[in-house]
A and B are shown apart, each in its own frame.
Chain A
Amino acid sequence: MKLAYWMYAAPAHIGTLRVATSFKNVHAIMHAPIGDDYFNVMRSMLSRERDFTPVTTSVVDRHVLSRGSQEKVVDNITRKDAEEHPDLIVLTPTCTSSILQEDLANFVQRASLEAKADVLLADVNHYRFNEMQAADRTLQQIVQFYIEKARKKGNLVTEKTAQPSVNIIGISTLAFHNNHDCTELKKLMGELGITVNAIIPEGANVDELRSLPQAWFNLAPYRELGPMTTDYLAAEFGMPCVDITPMGVVETARCIRKIQTILTAGGADVNYEDFINEQTIHVSQAAWFSRSIDCQNLTGKKAVVYGDATHAAAITKILTREMGIHVVWAGTFCKPDEEWFRKEVEGYCDEVIISDDHGLIGDRIANSEPSAIFGTQMERHVGKRLNIPTGVISAPIHVQNFPIGYKPFLGYEGTNQVVDLIYNSFTLGMEDHLLEIFGGHDTKEVITKGISADSDLGWNKEAQAELNKVPGFVRGKVKRNTEKFARDRGQTTITLEVMYAAKEAVGA
C-alpha cells in the first residue's frame, strides 16, 4: 500500500480509452463498476466534445461478483454492435476486472461470432502498466490486428506511394495540445512536399490501417504514444521512423533533416536546407528572440522543468540551448523512459530527477528557488504557493490547457508559442519582484507550510517584519540561511541581532 494524494499518470484503462475513442467509429466497453466511466466526463468537459463519448460500461455489480458476468459482457457487446454499428469494439479491462480474472478473452471470442463489428480485448494489465504504456500498447494492438486481418483478406496495401508520404502516429484525444500539434505537423508536411498518408489514432478510420505500409516513413512526435506501433511497422515492413520531436528550433531542424535523409534514401531528390533556413530566420520568431535584448535579460536565470518525457526533454533543451537559461534540474514521471530521458537532457541541466512523487518534486522546487517553473498543473499550484511563475508544458492538465485558440507546441509556429510561454513566465516574475522592491503589496511569506521549508525555529516580531521586507524572490533563501546559521549556533529564536549576524557571517 502506498499513501497517495496525487498521481501524474492515470490508470491503464484511461490510456486504452484515449486510443479507442480517438479512432472514428470505434466503441469501447469497460468491464467496470458504476462510476468508473469518469473518462466520459473528462472527454466531454476537458476537450469540450460535441459528440457522445463512445464508451459504455458493462457494469460489474454484486450479481457479477457472485455469479460472474456470464452473458452480460457478450450481451453488452452485441447490443452496442446493433445500436451504433461500430467498426470495432474494444473490451477494456479495469482494476476491478483485473482482480476478478474473468475470461474476458472468451467473451470477446463469443461476441465476435455474433457481432458485425470486430471485437478486441485490450491487452493491458492494470497493475503492470500506466496510462501511457497502455495507450502505446493498445494502439499497437489495434494496428497489428488490422494489418493481420488485411493480410488474411489479401487487401493489405504495401506498395509505396508515388510521392513521398508519411504516417503521423500518436495524436490522440485528451492529450496535451495534440489537436493543434496535428494541424501544425500537417502544415509542415505540406510545405515539405510530403503527403500525409494517415494520422492515427485521432480521427482515423480502422479501415485506413491496412494502407499504413504504403507511406515512405512514420513520424512519431511523442515518446509516450506511438513507439510500439512504429517499432512494429519497422519490423514488419522495414518502415523507417522519425522519432525526433520537432519542438524548438534546433529539434525541428533536426527532425526535418532526418526526414530528408530517409526520403533521399528512398529515391526522392529533396534538400530542405533552404526551407529550414527561411523558417528559422523569418517564420519562427524564436531564433530572433534568442538574439533580442529581452532574451539577454533571461541569461543565467534559474528554471526547473518537470513533465512527461517528451515535453520535459524538449523544453529543457529549448531553455538551455536556445535561450541561455540555467536549468537547475529537469525531471519526468515517465519512469519507464528514464534511460531515454537522461540521454536527451544530458548536458542541458545540472541534475535529472526521475520520480512520480509530487511531494518530492514540490520540495525540490522549494529548495531550488527557480525564477520560473515549467511543469504540469501540480507544479503550477506549487508555484502559486511559492510565488514562482509557472508555465504548464505537460499533462496532467485542466480545462484551461485545452485552449480554443491555435497553440501548437510542435513545428515552427510551436516555437513561437513556446517563446511566449517562457518569456511571459519570466517577465511576470520580474514584475513581481520590482513591485516588491518598490514597496509592493505582497508581504506574504514565500515558503508556506507543507512544502518542506517548515522550520522549528521561531522568528520574533521584529525579525519577521524585517524578513518580510526582503524581496520575495530571495526571501526563502535568506530565511533558510538565517535559520541554518541560528541552528548551527544552538539558537531557537531568531531576532534582528541573529539576522544581522547571519548576514555578516554567511551573507544571508
Chain B
Amino acid sequence: MTVAAEPQALNFECETGNYHTFCPISCVAWLYQKIEDSFFLVIGTKTCGYFLQNAMGVMIFAEPRYAMAELEEGDISAQLNDYEELRRLCEQIKKDRNPSVIVWIGTCTTEIIKMDLEGLAPRLEAELGIPIVTARANGLDYAFTQGEDTVLAAMAARCPEKAPVAQEEKDERNAISKLMNFGRKKEDVTVSDSEYKDHPPLVLFGSLPDPVVTNLTLELKKQGIKVSGWLPAKRFTELPVLEEGYYVAGVNPFLSRTATTLMRRRKCKLIGAPFPIGPDGTRAWIEKICSVFNIEPQGLDEREAQIWEGVEEYVKLIRGKSVFFMGDNLLEVSMARFLIRCGMTVQEIGIPYMDKRYQAAELALLEKTCREMNSPMPTIMEKPDNYNQLQRIYAQKPDLVITGMAHANPLEARGITTKWSVEFTFAQMHGFTNSRDILELVTRPLRRNENLKDLGWEKLVRDEAIV
C-alpha cells in the first residue's frame, strides 16, 4: 500500500445544477404498471405530454393507464374552472377505466399557476367516490426517480391505520383473488408464522418489479423476518397497514420524502440501511434489519461469497478500470459503492440530490468500501454541471462514463465508452440474485469494445480546430 493511495474522507461538492435528467413525471411509466388498478393523470402541458410520449416509447401504444390533462390557454388564465375541468376528465376516466385510484401528477405549470390540487382532490374524491392521490412530481423541484418518491409519500397517507379490520378484508380479497388466479402459479409463498422470529411488523417501501419483491421478501424470510407489507403493493386496494411503531426500510436511495412521511406522519421507525444493490449492499441491508430486530443473521457470509464467485467472469472485466457517474437518477452512490467493491475506481459521483441523512448508512458503507479496497475517495458532486463534467471527462479519460442518453452517443463518437443510466432504473438490480444483471449492463459496453477492438474505429469525429 502506498501512502499516496491512502484514502481521505468523502468530498461533497455542489455545482450549478445544469444537468440532463428525465422529468420526474416519468415515474408514471413504471408506477402505473406496478399499481395495477391505478390511473395516472398528469396535469400539465403539451411539453409534459411530448416527453412522456417519447420517453415511454412503445408502451404508449398499449393503451396505458395514464393520460395527460392538457392545460389550454383558458386554464392558464383561469377562464375555465379547474374543479369543473378536472371533474369532467375524471368522470370520463372513471367511466372508461374504472380505476381504484386516480393519481394526479402536478407539474411545473400547476405549480406556477398555483392550482390547488391538494385542495381540489378531497372534494372531487367525495363526489366521484374514487380516491384521488396528489403528487407534485415537477421539474422545478425534483429529478427523475424522485417522482416516485413524491407519489409514494402521498400514498403513505392512504395506508390503512389499523391491522385487525384490514386483516379480515384482506383475507376476503385474497379468497377472491385466489379464485381469480385459479390454476396459475402461486406467487407468494404462504408460511405459518412459526417460521418467523418474533419481531415488530416491518413494511418495506419502494416500487420494484414483482419478481424482485418476492426475491427480497424470501431473502428476509431466510432470516426469520416477516415482511408485513410493501409500499406500494400490486394494487392500491392492498396498501399495507401502517400502525404507529411499525418499522420501515427503504429499498431505493431516492425515497427521502417517503421515509420522512413514514416517520413523521405515520410515526414509523426508519431502519437506515445501505440499499440492497449488489451482493455487498444486499448483505449490509439484511444485516442492518437483523441488527435492529436483534436477530443473528444466518449464512450471509456464504451467500455473499457464492454470489461474488458467480459473477467473477464479469468482475474480471472491470477490475482496475475507472468509472465516472454524470448523475441523473440518484442510484449513483449505491452503484458506485458496488463498483468499487468490484475493484473499479470511481472518479466522480454526480447526483441530482444528496440526502445525507436518508443515505447515511449507504455513504458510510461507501467510505468503508473505499478504505477496504484501498480506492481513492470519490467526489460526490451534487447538482452537477454537465458542461464542466465533460471537461473533467476529457481530462480524466475514464474507462466508462455512466450517463444519460443526451450525452451517450456524442461521447461514444469521441472514443469514450458509455453506459446509459436510465437502464439501471428499469432493470432488475436489487438483491443477491440480480447482481449479475447490474454487471451485465455495466460490462456490456466493455464487452462490445472487446469484440470490436481491432477495427480502429474508436474515434469517429473530426478533430476540432484548435483556436
Binding site for B on A (CB under 8 A): 1-7, 10-11, 13-14, 32-38, 40-42, 44-45, 48-53, 56-57, 59-62, 65, 76, 83, 85, 94-96, 99-100, 126-128, 130, 378, 381, 384, 396, 398, 450
Q: Which of B10-28 contact A (CB under 8 A)?
A: 17-25
Asked if B409 and A3 make an inter-chain contact with CB atoms under 8 angstroms apart, the answer reads no
Chain B residues with Cβ below 8 Å from A53 are: 406, 410
Chain A residues with Cβ below 8 Å from B63 are: 450
Asked if A51 and B86 make an inter-chain contact with CB atoms under 8 angstroms apart, the answer reads no
Is B53 in the interface zone, CB < 8 Å from A? Answer: yes
Is B423 in the interface zone, CB < 8 Å from A? Answer: no
A276 CB → nearest B CB, Å: 39
Would you mind naming 13 contact pairs between A and B with Cβ atoms under 8 Å apart?
A: A1-B43, A1-B88, A3-B92, A4-B67, A7-B53, A38-B23, A44-B405, A51-B413, A53-B410, A56-B387, A126-B46, A127-B72, A398-B57
Is B209 in the interface zone, CB < 8 Å from A? Answer: no
Asked if B23 and A35 make an inter-chain contact with CB atoms under 8 angstroms apart, the answer reads yes
Chain B residues with Cβ below 8 Å from A51 are: 410, 413, 461
Type the 1/0 row for B71-91, where 1 means its CB is closer than 8 Å to any CB of A.
111011000100001101100
A115 CB → nearest B CB, Å: 16
Chain B residues with Cβ below 8 Å from A450 are: 63
Chain B residues with Cβ below 8 Å from A85 are: 467
Q: Which of A61, A94, A100 has the most CB of B within 10 A?
A: A61
Partner of A62, one of B45, B140, B460: B140
Partner of A44, one of B80, B141, B390, B407: B407
Chain A residues with Cβ below 8 Å from B93 are: 3
B444 CB → nearest A CB, Å: 17
Binding site for A on B (CB under 8 A): 17-25, 43, 45-47, 49-51, 53-55, 57, 60-61, 63-64, 66-73, 75-76, 80, 85-86, 88-89, 92-93, 108-109, 111-113, 138-144, 387, 390, 404-410, 413, 460-461, 467
Asked if B108 and A96 make an inter-chain contact with CB atoms under 8 angstroms apart, the answer reads yes
Asked if B50 and A14 make an inter-chain contact with CB atoms under 8 angstroms apart, the answer reads yes
Asked if A94 and B47 make an inter-chain contact with CB atoms under 8 angstroms apart, the answer reads yes
Chain B residues with Cβ below 8 Å from A34 are: 17, 19, 21, 23, 139-140, 142-143
B37 CB → nearest A CB, Å: 18
B352 CB → nearest A CB, Å: 8
- In the complex formed, the residue of B with least CB distance to A52 is B410
Chain B residues with Cβ below 8 Å from A49 are: 409-410
Chain A residues with Cβ below 8 Å from B51 are: 35-36, 38
Asked if B46 and A11 make an inter-chain contact with CB atoms under 8 angstroms apart, the answer reads yes
B449 CB → nearest A CB, Å: 17
A326-B64 Cα distance, complex, nearest whole Å: 34
A100-B55 Cα distance, complex, nearest whole Å: 26
A76-B386 Cα distance, complex, nearest whole Å: 13
A35-B55 Cα distance, complex, nearest whole Å: 11
A51-B409 Cα distance, complex, nearest whole Å: 8
A61-B408 Cα distance, complex, nearest whole Å: 26
B191 CB → nearest A CB, Å: 39
A384-B73 Cα distance, complex, nearest whole Å: 36
A243 CB → nearest B CB, Å: 28
> Given A45-B409, A51-B461, A95-B47, do A37 and B69 touch, yes or no (CB 8 Å)?
no
> Given A33-B140, A50-B461, A96-B108, do A2 and B70 touch, yes or no (CB 8 Å)?
yes
A315-B18 Cα distance, complex, nearest whole Å: 44
Asked if A50 and B50 make an inter-chain contact with CB atoms under 8 angstroms apart, the answer reads no
A130-B46 Cα distance, complex, nearest whole Å: 9
Asked if A83 and B387 make an inter-chain contact with CB atoms under 8 angstroms apart, the answer reads yes
Q: Which of B24, B70, B112 has the most CB of A within 10 A?
A: B112
Asked if A1 and B410 make an inter-chain contact with CB atoms under 8 angstroms apart, the answer reads no
B353 CB → nearest A CB, Å: 11
A25 CB → nearest B CB, Å: 12
Chain A residues with Cβ below 8 Å from B404 are: 41
- In the complex formed, the residue of A with least CB distance to B16 is A59
Asked if B18 and A36 make an inter-chain contact with CB atoms under 8 angstroms apart, the answer reads no
Chain B residues with Cβ below 8 Å from A37 are: 20, 406
Chain A residues with Cβ below 8 Å from B461 are: 50-51
Asked if B46 and A95 make an inter-chain contact with CB atoms under 8 angstroms apart, the answer reads yes
Asked if B49 and A7 make an inter-chain contact with CB atoms under 8 angstroms apart, the answer reads yes
Given A2-B72, A5-B68: 18 more A-B contacts, CB < 8 Å = A1-B43, A3-B69, A7-B49, A11-B47, A32-B139, A34-B23, A35-B51, A36-B51, A38-B23, A41-B20, A49-B410, A61-B17, A62-B141, A85-B467, A95-B47, A95-B109, A99-B113, A384-B61
Chain A residues with Cβ below 8 Å from B25 are: 35
A37-B404 Cα distance, complex, nearest whole Å: 11
Asked if B23 and A36 make an inter-chain contact with CB atoms under 8 angstroms apart, the answer reads yes
Q: Which of A1, A42, A94 has the most CB of B within 10 A?
A: A1
A248-B421 Cα distance, complex, nearest whole Å: 44
Partner of A1, one of B22, B69, B138, B408: B69
Asked if A35 and B144 make an inter-chain contact with CB atoms under 8 angstroms apart, the answer reads yes
B203 CB → nearest A CB, Å: 30
Chain B residues with Cβ below 8 Å from A42 are: 54
Asked if A2 and B409 make an inter-chain contact with CB atoms under 8 angstroms apart, the answer reads no
Asked if B46 and A44 make an inter-chain contact with CB atoms under 8 angstroms apart, the answer reads no
Asked if B68 and A4 make an inter-chain contact with CB atoms under 8 angstroms apart, the answer reads yes
A229-B460 Cα distance, complex, nearest whole Å: 35
A35-B21 Cα distance, complex, nearest whole Å: 5
> Given A33-B140, A127-B72, do A52 and B407 touch, yes or no (CB 8 Å)?
yes
Q: Which of B20, B85, B410 has the most CB of A within 10 A?
A: B20
Chain A residues with Cβ below 8 Å from B387 are: 56, 83
Chain A residues with Cβ below 8 Å from B66 are: 5
A44-B55 Cα distance, complex, nearest whole Å: 13
Asked if A2 and B112 make an inter-chain contact with CB atoms under 8 angstroms apart, the answer reads no
> Given A51-B410, A62-B141, A96-B112, do A38 and B55 touch, yes or no (CB 8 Å)?
yes
Q: Which of B68, B405, B409 has the most CB of A within 10 A?
A: B409
Asked if A381 and B61 make an inter-chain contact with CB atoms under 8 angstroms apart, the answer reads yes
- In the complex formed, the residue of B with least CB distance to A94 is B47
A13-B47 Cα distance, complex, nearest whole Å: 9
A382-B84 Cα distance, complex, nearest whole Å: 32
Chain A residues with Cβ below 8 Å from B112 are: 65, 96, 99-100
Asked if B70 and A4 make an inter-chain contact with CB atoms under 8 angstroms apart, the answer reads yes
B109 CB → nearest A CB, Å: 6
Chain A residues with Cβ below 8 Å from B88 are: 1
Asked if B92 and A50 make an inter-chain contact with CB atoms under 8 angstroms apart, the answer reads no
A480 CB → nearest B CB, Å: 21
- In the complex formed, the residue of B with least CB distance to A5 is B67
Chain B residues with Cβ below 8 Å from A52 are: 390, 406-407, 410
Chain A residues with Cβ below 8 Å from B142 are: 34
A42-B73 Cα distance, complex, nearest whole Å: 27
Chain A residues with Cβ below 8 Å from B23 are: 33-36, 38
A162 CB → nearest B CB, Å: 32
Asked if B89 and A3 make an inter-chain contact with CB atoms under 8 angstroms apart, the answer reads yes
- In the complex formed, the residue of B with least CB distance to A382 is B61
B22 CB → nearest A CB, Å: 6
Asked if A41 and B406 make an inter-chain contact with CB atoms under 8 angstroms apart, the answer reads yes
A95-B47 Cα distance, complex, nearest whole Å: 7
